[in-house]
Amino acid sequence: MHKTTIGTIMSRYIVPFFAGEDTTRWETLKNFIKNPNSKAGLIMIGILTFVAIFAPLIAPYDPYRQNLSESLNPPSLTHPFGTDLYGRDVISRVIYGAWIAVKICVIGIGIAFIIGNLAGALSGYYGGWIDAIIMRIVDSIMSFPFLVLVIAIMAIFGPGLKNLYFAIAIVSWCQYARIVRSKYLSEKEEEYVRAAKAIGFSDTRVIFGHLMPNSIMPTIVYASLDCALVILLAASLSFIGVGAQPPTPEWGAQIAEGRQFLQVAWWVATFPALGIMYAVIGFSLLGDGLRDLLEK
Amino acid sequence: MANLLEIENLRTYFEENGSIVRAVDGVDLSVSETEVVGLVGESGSGKTTVANSLLRILPEAGKIVAGRMIFKAINIRELSEKEMQSKIRGTEISMIFQDPQVSLNPLFTVGEQITSVLKLHQHIGRKEARAKAINLFRKVEVSDPESRFRSYPHELSGGMIQRVTIAMAMSCQPSLIIADEPTTALDVTIQNQVLNEFKNLISEIGVSVLWITHDLGVIKRVCDYVNVMYAGTLMEQGAVETVFENPLHPYTHGLLGSNPIQYRPKSKIPTVIGELREIPLQGCKFYPRCPIRNEDCLQETINLREVNENHRIRCIRAEDAEALLRSRNHDLQGAC
Amino acid sequence: MLDIIDVVPVYTAETEGIPWNEAIVEVNHLKKYYTVRKRVIDKILTKKQKYVRAVDDISFVIRKGETFGLVGESGCGKSTLGRCVLRLESLTAGDVKVFGQNIHPLSDKKLKNFRKQAQVVFQNPYSSLPPHKTLGNMLKEVVAYHKTAERDMLKEYCRDLLDRVGLSETLYTRRPRALSGGQRQRAAIARALATEPKFVVLDEPVTALDVSVQAQILNLLVELQKERDLTYLFIAHDLSVIRHVSDTVGVMYLGKLVELAPSKELFEKRLHPYTKLLMSSSPLLSEVYEIDRVELTGEVPSPIDLPAGCRFHTRCPFASSSCRQKEPELIAVNNGHFVSCFLATQ
C-alpha cells in the first residue's frame, strides 16, 4: 500500500513527471529548484507557509485583543505595523491572515483538486454515460460566472469562512475535471496503457497507478495558479462582507475595515494588501516554474 | 576537376542541459558533379545534422563550431541568412525529408506548394508555374497530375507525397539534392517503386545527390560512393563496390553482417554488440563496441587513412586479418 | 468455407520433435470490422454503412513451440489481428481459442489467468513502457500481480530478469526516458516474460530499432524461445526478419491471408503474386532466392472501398477477368502450403 509521507507522494506522482536524463530523485528535484521562477516561488510560499503554521509563536500579540487606548497608532517599535481602530496589533493580524490564506488554499483548492481529478479521470477513461453526466454537471456549473456563483452560494448558506471553503470547492473542481479529462483522453491511447491492460491489470490499477501519475501535472500547475486567484477571491468576498466576518483577521476583511481611514491611518489597510500581493506573486511564480517544467 | 561540394572538418555541437553534444565531430566529405554520394549511419550518428548544417537549418541549440562547407567554390558557412535563403536553399541545394506526412503544409494543396516554390525562385507567373509543375509531376510518375495538383496532402498516399516532394526538390534545377531518408517511411513495395523512379530521374537529369540513410541495401542500389558515419565521425569511405565487397572497418563489417538474410533461420546473427552510449574522450569512438580493439586504439587521435585506391578507413587495426576472423566468433551477447 | 483442420500446415523435418496436433492458438474465421462514421448527408441519403474490413475472415493455427510469422505491409490488418488474438480488441465475427479455451467470452477471473499465459511486446519502445515507473518498479508490479515469484524474492527475480534480457543492474532504478531504443525494447521483453507466459505476440518488435540492435534483439528472442519453450506470433513487415524467426509464415494483404506455408516452402515456392512482389522489393532477398523484378501497376486500394473480386487484382500483373469478378479462396496446394489465387491454383 502507498505510504503517506509527503516524500513518497511527491516522488511517486510529482517528481517522476520531471524525469530527465538521469532519473534519480535528487537530480529531478535539483532541476526544479534551479529554475529561477520556481526558486523564488518556493521561497516565498515556503516563508508564507512557515509564518502561517507558526503564527501563534511568531505573532507578538493576540490578533483579537483589543486595546482602545492604542487605537490607530502608527508603526512603532512596539507595533511594527501599527494598530487598527480597536487597538489590535496589525502585524499579528497580518500573520494570522497568512494562516487563514493558507487554510483557504489547502482546504478549498485541496477539495476541488481531489474531486476534480477523480471526476475527470473517470470521465476521460470510461467515456460513455459517466462522461456525459459528469460533463453536463461541469458545463452547468461553469456556465455561471465564477464570482456570481460563489456569492450566490454564500448568500444561501450564509457568510463566514467555513462556507467560503465549501463554495470555492464546489465551483472550482470543474476546471480540474476538464483538464484531467482531456489529459486522460489523450494519454489513454498511449501504448503503455494498452500494455498495462495486456498485462491484465484491473481498470482501477490502470487509472490510478498508470494514468494518474502521468496526467496529474497539468492540474498541479493549475492549482498553484488557482491558489493565487482564490486568495484574491476570498479577499474580495470578505471585502464586500460576504466572506470572512469580523473579527476574523482575513486580509480582505482587514482591508475593508481599514479603508475608511486610509488617509489618516494608511497602515491598517496597506499591510494586509501587501500580504495579499506577496502571496499572489509567490503562487504565480511557483505556478510558472511548474509550468516551465511541464513543458520541458 | 574541383568538387561540387567539399565539406572540411565540419563540427556541429549542441548544447543540452549544460553539457555539449558533439553531433558532428570532424567530418570530411565531398560530392562531385553527377555523383550520388551515400551517408550511412544508425540513429545518433549525426548524419541528419550534417544535412541540417549544410543548409544551415539547425535548431536553436545547435551551432557549427568549426569547418568549411565549400559549394561551387564558395564557403557557404560564411554566407548571410538572406543569401542562403535566396541563392542556396531550394535553388542550388534542395532537400527531401523523411516523413511524407509532415513535410508538406496540410493547409495548402500540393499544387499551390510547388508553384509557390517555382514562382519564388524562378520568377515566373502563375500559369507558367502551373504548367511546369504538372510537367514535373508527370516526370516523377505522379498519376493523373492535373487532379493531384488540386489535392491536399492528406488526400494523397505516402508514396505519392514523396513523389511530390521529389518534384518540388527538382523544380528549380538544383545542383545538389540532399535526400534525408526519402524512402524509409514508405511501405516496402512502394519504397521500391519510388526508389527506382528517383534513381532513373537522377541519372536522367544528372544532378548530384547526397543520400542519407541507415539502410545499406539502399546505398548499394543507388550510390556511387559511400561514407559510413558513427558518433559524429566518418569511419570508412570509398566507392560502393569496394566498401561492400571488402569492408575493412569493424563497424562497417558489423553493419553489413547484421542483415539476417545471410544466415540460417534461427541461428545467431553476428552483429555489433552494445549501443551508442559512452564515447571515449580520446582515441577511437567505436572502442567500446569494437571486437578487435586494444589499448593502442585509445591513443590521441585516429585519422582517416588511405588503404586502397579511393578507400579510406579510420582504424589502426583493420589489417589485422586474424583479429577480424576472431571477431566473427567473438562473444556476441548484446549486453548493454 | 475452409474447415479449421484443413489449414494446419504439415511439419517438415526441421521442426520434428513437436507433436503436430498440439495447437496452442486456433483462429477461426476471424473478422474485425470498424464502422466508418457516416456524414450527415449520407445518413439523409440512407447510404449503406461502410466498414473498414481490417481482418476479413482469417483462419490459422499456431502450434506449441513454433513461431508463426505474420507478414504484410502497413494497413493490411496484421496488428489488428494480433490484438484480436490477445483479446485487446473485440471481434466482429469468428472466434479465437488459446490453450483450448475460447477467449472472448472469458470471465474476469479466467481472463487474468489468460493474461498471465499470453503476453505481448509492442512495436514502439518509446511509448510502450510506463514513463513514470522505474524498470524495477514496473517489473515488480507485474510479478507481484501475477504472483510469479514469492514476496521476499521479488527484487532478486526482477534483477535476474533484467540480466537475462541483457540489461545491466544499474538500470533497475532508471526510468524509460534515460534508456535507448534497444534498451527499452529489452525492458518490454522483460515485462512480457515477467508473467512467465507460454505464448507471446510480438508486434513488430524490431521495426523501430537500428540495424545492429535489431539483430541483437532477434538473437535474444530466438534464445528465449528455445530456453523457455515459448510460442510466438511474430508480426512484421520485413521479410528478411520473418524468414529468420519463423517456422510458418502467413502473408496478409488488406485483411486476408493470401498465402500460408511453412517458412522454407514459402520462400522457395512463393506462389502468390503479392508474395513475389514483396520478395522482389528487397534486393538481398531477390538475390538469394533468385527472383525476377515484378513490375507493379496501379495503386493500393482504400480499405473502405475494396475492389470486387481478388483484392490484389488492381496491382497484379497477372490479373485476368475472373480475378476481377470472384474472390479466390485459401486452398491447399501441397504439403501444408495454402494460396488464395486463381492463377496459382490452376
Residue B43 confidence (pLDDT): 86
pLDDT at position C132, please?
87
Task: Report pLDDT for B325.
Answer: 52
Domains present along chain B, CATH in parentheses: 1-92+176-242 (3.40.50.300), 101-173 (no CATH), 246-328 (no CATH)
Q: Name which of C74, C76, C184, C211 to mutate to probe chain B: the one with the most chain B Cβ atoms within 10 A of its Cβ.
A: C211
Spatial separation of the C-alpha atoms in residues B90 and B112, rounded to whole Å: 16
Average pLDDT over residues C318-345: 84
Q: Which residue among C127, C133, C174 places its CB closest to the CB of A191?
A: C127
Q: In this complex, do B188 and C282 lie within 8 Å of one another by their Cβ atoms? A: yes
Nearest by CB to residue C175, choosing from A19, A191, A205, is: A19
Which partners does chain B have (≥3 C-beta pairs < 8 Å)? C
pLDDT given at position C18 = 42
Contact C128, C179 (CB under 8 A): no
pLDDT at B324: 59
CB-CB under 8 Å, A200 with C116: yes
Contacts of C222 in chain B (CB under 8 A): 266, 268
Q: Which of B143, B193, B269 sits opposite C296 (nearest CB)?
A: B193
Q: Which of C120, C146, C177 sits opposite A198 (nearest CB)?
A: C120
By C-alpha distance, the chain C residue nearest A196 is: C130
Asked if residue C6 has pLDDT above 70, the reply is no
Burial of A139 per CB tally in 10 Å (0-12, 13-18, 19+): exposed
Pick from B31-40, C48-57, C87-96, C154-163: least confident: C48-57
* pLDDT score of C222: 95
> What was the pLDDT predicted at C2?
40
| Predicted pLDDT of residue C21 | 58
pLDDT value at position C84?
94
For residues B204 and B5, what is the distance between their CA atoms, to the nearest angstrom? 20
C10 pLDDT more than 60: no
Where chain B has pLDDT below 50, the residues are: 329-336
What pLDDT score was predicted for residue B212?
A: 94
Q: Which pLDDT band, with edges at 50, 70 and 90, does A244 fall under?
A: confident
pLDDT at B336: 28
Q: Is the pLDDT of residue A9 over 60?
A: no
Chain B residues lying within 8 Å of C246, measured CB to CB? 265
**Residues of chain B found within 8 Å of residue C277, distances taken between Cβ atoms:** 189
Considering only CB atoms, which chain C residues are within 8 Å of B277?
Answer: 180
Order of all β-strands in the sheet with B62-71? B19-31, B5-16, B62-71, B74-75
- To the nearest whole Å, the CA of B109 is away from the closest chain C CA by 21
Q: Where are the domains of chain A?
A: 35-295
Q: How confident is the model at residue A20 (pLDDT cuts 50, 70, 90)?
A: very low
Residue A19 confidence (pLDDT) = 45
Complex confidence, ipTM: 0.86
Q: Does C296 touch chain B (CB under 8 A)?
A: yes
Mean pLDDT taken over chain C: 86
Inter-chain residue contact A201 with C133, CB threshold 8 Å: no
Subunit partners of chain C (3 or more CB pairs within 8 A): A, B
Report CB contact under 8 Å: C212, B272.
yes
Return the biggest CA–CA distance within chain B: 67
pLDDT on residue A27:
60
CATH architecture label of A35-295: Orthogonal Bundle (1.10)
Q: Kindly list the residues from chain A whose CB atom is less than 8 angstroms away from the CB atom of residue C112.
A: 200
* CA closest to A28 among chain C residues: C175
Is the pLDDT reported for residue C67 higher than 90? yes
**φ and ψ at residue B43, rounded to 5 degrees:** -70, 140
Nearest to A200 among C115, C129, C174 (CB): C115
How does pLDDT run across C177-213, given as a tens digit for each residue? 888 889 999 999 999 999 999 999 999 999 988 889 9
Sketch the domain layout of chain C as residue ranges. Answer: 108-117+125-197
pLDDT of residue A295 exceeding 80:
no
Going by C-alpha positions, the residue among C221, C134, C128, C132 that lies closest to residue C171 is C134
Q: What is the pLDDT of residue A5?
A: 52
Radius of gyration of chain A (CA): 22
- Across the range A104-129, mean pLDDT stands at 93
Partner-chain contact C122 A195, CB within 8 Å: yes
Q: Using pLDDT thresholds of 50, 70 and 90, give the confidence band for residue C11.
A: very low
pTM: 0.85
Out of C88, C111, C131, name the one closest to residue A192 (CB).
C131
Q: Which percentage of chain C shows pLDDT scores above 90?
A: 46
Alpha-carbon span B98 to B81, nearest angstrom? 24
Residue A10 — pLDDT band, cuts 50, 70, 90? low
Strands B305-308 and B311-313: antiparallel
Residues of A near C (CB-CB distance < 8 A)?
A: 12, 16-17, 19-24, 190-192, 194-201, 205, 209-210, 213-214
What pLDDT does residue C282 have? 86
Task: Please say if the pLDDT value at position A21 is more than 50.
Answer: no
**Which of B144, B157, B187, B330 is the best residue to mutate to test the C interface, defined by the most C CB atoms within 10 Å of its own CB?**
B187
Question: Chain C interface residues facing chain A, Cβ-Cβ under 8 Å?
Answer: 86, 88, 111-112, 114-116, 119-120, 122, 124, 127-134, 141-142, 145-146, 173-175, 177-178, 188, 191, 195
CA distance A209 to A49: 30
Residue B194, classed as helix, strand or coil, is helix
Q: Do the chains contact at C191 and A199, CB–CB below 8 Å?
A: yes
pLDDT above 70 covers a percentage of chain C that reads 91
* Residue in C108, C113, C126, C132 to test binding to A, most A beta-carbons within 10 Å: C132
- Residue C5 pLDDT > 60: no
Put simply, the answer to whether B221 touches C280 (Cβ < 8 Å) is: no
At B332 the pLDDT is 37
R_g (Cα) of chain B, nearest Å: 21
3-state secondary structure of B211: strand
Residue C178 touches partner B, C-beta closer than 8 Å: no
With bands split at pLDDT 50, 70 and 90, how would you rate the model's confidence at C145? very high
Confirm if C33 and C101 have CB atoms less than 8 A apart: no
Asked if A58 and A91 touch (Cβ cutoff 8 Å), the reply is no
Mutation choice for B interface testing from C241, C243, C244 by most B CBs within 10 A = C244
Q: What is the mean pLDDT of residues A227-233?
A: 91
Fold of C108-117+125-197: Rossmann fold (3.40.50)
